[in-house]
Amino acid sequence: MAWQLEWEIGIEESTGEEHEVSKHAPKMDKTNLKIIGSLNADSRKSVTQIAKETGISRPTIISRLDKMMKQNIIRIVGVNIRELGFQLALIA
């Protein structure tokens, strides 16, 4: 059975350009987009840094990040050093 996705036209707020958006995609509000934009610039930022940059409270950022991770919108990627044969990690 083939999946059929419905598409609609979305308008990019910052540029006014039109683009196709799946109707099944999660709705993103301005708060989530600010958080994602901040992380896109530097994915290593702390919650405190994101809060200062965006003007969003730390609890809101933590809650939104948690929701977006559960929805697989955001993923944290790391390296499993034990799989590489190392028994100890040194973070300097």
CB 24 within 8 A of CB 42: no
Q: In the chain, how many domains are there?
A: 1
- Per-residue model confidence (pLDDT) at position 57: 97
Element (H, E) at 9: strand 7-11
* Rg of the chain over all Cα atoms, to the nearest angstrom: 18
* Structural domain boundaries, residue 56: 27-76
CB 68 within 8 A of CB 74: yes
CB 6 within 8 A of CB 20: no
| pLDDT digit string (tens) for the chain, length 92 residues | 344 444 444 445 556 665 555 566 667 889 999 999 999 989 889 999 999 999 999 999 999 999 999 988 888 877 777 788 877 766 66
- Per-residue model confidence (pLDDT) at position 2: 40
* Residue 88 within any structural domain of the chain: no
Q: Indicate which CATH number applies to the domain containing 63.
A: 1.10.10.10
- Per-residue model confidence (pLDDT) at position 9: 44
Whole-prediction pTM value? Answer: 0.61
